[in-house]
Amino acid sequence: MGDYRKLWESLQMDLEKHDALCAVLPELYGSVYLSQKDRAEAMNYFNFVISEVHGLRIEELNNHRQKGGKVVGTFCVYVPDEILNALGVIGVGLCGGSQFWIEDGEKVLPRNLCPLIKAFVGAKISATCPYFQSCDLLVGETTCDGKKKAYEILAEYAPTYVMELPQMKREKDIKDWEAEIKRFINEIENLTGNKLTYENLKNSIKLINKKRRALKRLYELRKNTPSPISGLDALLVSQIAFYDDIERFTENVEKLCDELEKKISILKANRKKRLMVTGTPMAIPNWKLHHIIENLDAQIVVEETCTGTRYFENEVSEDGETIDDLIRNIAERYMKINCACFTPNEGRVEDIIRLAEEYKVDGVVYYNLSFCQPYSVEYKRVEKALKDKNIPLILIETDYSTEDVGQIKTRIEAFLEMI
Ligand code: SF4
Ligand code: SF4
C-alpha cells in the first residue's frame, strides 16, 4: 500500500490507533485467504482491493469529494443504492466486522449488544475507519432496536439521517416505504444540489441491476458440484460489493465468472459436504465461520444473508413511464428483501428451503451474531421448516472474538459427521 498518511490525517483519523488496525489485517488476510489452494486468477483483483482497502479506494472517495461530489455511508441493504448513484453520490457500506472496534463501541453501548452494532459505533468514535471519516452523511434505518438506537449515538459524532422502514409488508407498508424513499430523495438532493430525473434514475437502476446480475451469475456457478469457488472467496466478493466502484466491480465479477465457467469442466469430484449459511450479515473482515468450515471437509455454496443472496436477488423493474413509476419499482424491489426485522417473515423460511434445494446442500448452518434478537427468535421457525424437509441444521451463535473458534470447530466437525 502506498503512503496515505497525509490523506488519513486530513480525514482527522487517529493515526496511531489506525496503525494498530492496519497491522492486523494483512496477517489475517494472508492466513485466511492467500493460503487457499487453486484459487481463480481473477481473484487477484479482489486481493488487490483488500490490500488497498484503506488506501486507493479512500483516495478515490477523496478525489470525488474534492470535485464537489458527496459520499454517503449506509448500514443496511434496504437503503436504495439506485437513488444515491443517480444523484452522483458514492455510497459505502459501513457495517463493522472487526473485533478491533468492539472495545471502543462498548464505551458508549451496553456489552450485551450485537457485535456488528458495537463495531460500527466503535469504528466511528475511535476515528480509525477512513470510510466513516470520508462520509458527508450517514444513513441509518429503523430495522432492529439496537441499530435504531445506535444512530442516536452516531448522530453526536456525524451528520446522520434515518429512514423509517416499515416492519410489515402490506400494501400500506409498501406505500409508506415509497413515501419514505421520496423523503430520502429530497434529503440527498439537498445534500448534493443535484436533481433526480427520469433519465438519471433509469440509468442508475440499469447499472445496479447489472451489478446484481453479475453476483447472481457468480452464485449460479456455485450450484455446480463441486462449486468452482470457495465460500470464502464468494463471501469476499459480496463484501467488496458494498464499497467498490460499481462498474469496475461488475466488470471484475464477470471476469471471475468467465474463468470459473471454464474451470467447471476440469473440476474433479470431491467428498466435501455442501453447506448453506443463513442468518446475520458478515461484514468485512468477518471471515470467521467460513474459515472454520472450509478448513474442514466442507464447502459453503450459498449464503442466505445480507452479504449473500439478500443483496442481489430481485432486480428493480426498468419499466415505467414516469419518475414516480420508477420510485414505486424501487420500493417494491426493496420490500422483497426478507429480513428478520419484519413480521411475519415467512418469505425467509421459503427462501431457505428453495435455496437448500437449488444448491443441493447437505446441511444448513444458522449463523446468529450474539445478542441479535430478530434472527435468534426466528430460528425456531426455520428449524421446524427444515426438519419437515429432512434438511440437517446447526445453530452457531457467536461474535467476532476468536475465543470460541475451537468449540465451533468441534461442533461443525460433529455436524459434518452426522450429515
Ligand atoms: S439483516 Fe436486516 S437490518 Fe441487517 S442489513 Fe440485513 S436487512 Fe438490514
Ligand atoms: S445482526 Fe441483528 S442485532 Fe445486529 S444489526 Fe443486524 S438485525 Fe440488528
Buried b (16+ CB within 10 A) or exposed e, 299-328: bbbbbbbbbbbbbbbbbbeeebeebeebbb
Q: Which amino acid is located at 288 in the chain?
A: K
> Is 369 near ligand 2, meaning CB less than 6 Å away?
yes
Q: Residue 167: nearest ligand to its CA? A: 1
Q: Which has the closest alpha carbon to 115: 413, 400, 307, 419? A: 400
pLDDT confidence tier of residue 95, bands split at 50, 70 and 90: confident
Mutation choice for ligand 2 from 343, 375, 399, CB with most ligand atoms inside 8 A? 375
Q: Are 400 and 288 in contact (CB under 8 A)?
A: yes
pLDDT above 80 for 84: yes
Mean pLDDT of 226-241: 98
pLDDT value, residue 1: 63
Rounded to the nearest angstrom, the distance between the alpha carbon of 72 and the centre of ligand 2 is 21
Cβ partners under 8 Å of residue 210, min gap 6 = 250
Looking at ligand 2, which residue's alpha carbon is closest to its atom 3? 372
Q: Which atom of ligand 1 is nearest to the CA of 339?
A: 2
**DSSP count for the chain of H helices, then E strands:** 19, 8
> Rounded to the nearest whole angstrom, what is the distance from the C-alpha of residue 123 to the centroid of ligand 1?
19
Q: Residue with the nearest Cα to atom 2 of ligand 2? A: 372
Strand 393-398, strand 363-369: pairing: parallel
Q: Give the pLDDT score at 258.
A: 98
- Mutation probe of ligand 2 site: the residue of 102, 113, 114 with most atoms within 8 A of C-beta: 114
Host domain of residue 172: 5-418
Peptide linkage before 392 cis (omega within 30 of 0): no
The residue whose CA is least distant from atom 8 of ligand 2 is 144
Mention every residue, 6+ apart, whose C-beta is less than 8 A from residue 132. Answer: 73, 94, 123, 124, 138, 158
Radius of gyration of the chain (CA): 21
Sheet holding 393-398, edge to edge: 298-304, 273-279, 363-369, 393-398
* The residue to which cell 427520469 is assigned: 198
Q: pLDDT tens across 281-313, in order?
A: 999 999 999 999 999 999 999 999 999 999 999
* Distances 100 to 97, 105, 170, 401 between C-alpha atoms, Å: 9, 10, 40, 9
Whole-number Å distance, alpha carbon 67 to ligand 2 midpoint, is 35
Provide the mean pLDDT of the chain.
97
Rounded average pLDDT over 224-234: 98
Q: Is the pLDDT of residue 3 over 90?
A: no
Other beta carbons within 10 angstroms of residue 199's beta carbon come to 10
For residue 116, which atom of ligand 1 is closest to its CA? 4
Distance (Å, whole) CA 312 – CA 115:
24
Indicate the pLDDT class of residue 24, thresholds 50, 70 and 90. confident
Residues recorded for the chain: 419
Q: What is the pLDDT of residue 195?
A: 98
Q: Cβ(144) to ligand 2 under 6 A?
A: yes
- Residue 369, ligand 1, Cβ within 6 A: no
Strands 160-163 and 89-93: unpaired
The average pLDDT across 121-136 equals: 97
pLDDT for residue 115 is more than 90 = yes
The Cβ of residue 385 has, within 10 Å, a number of other Cβ atoms equal to 18
Q: What is the pLDDT of residue 396?
A: 98
> Which ligand has the nearest atom to the CA of 121?
2
Number of domains the chain is built from: 1
Angle between helices 15-29 and 43-51 (to 10 degrees): 160
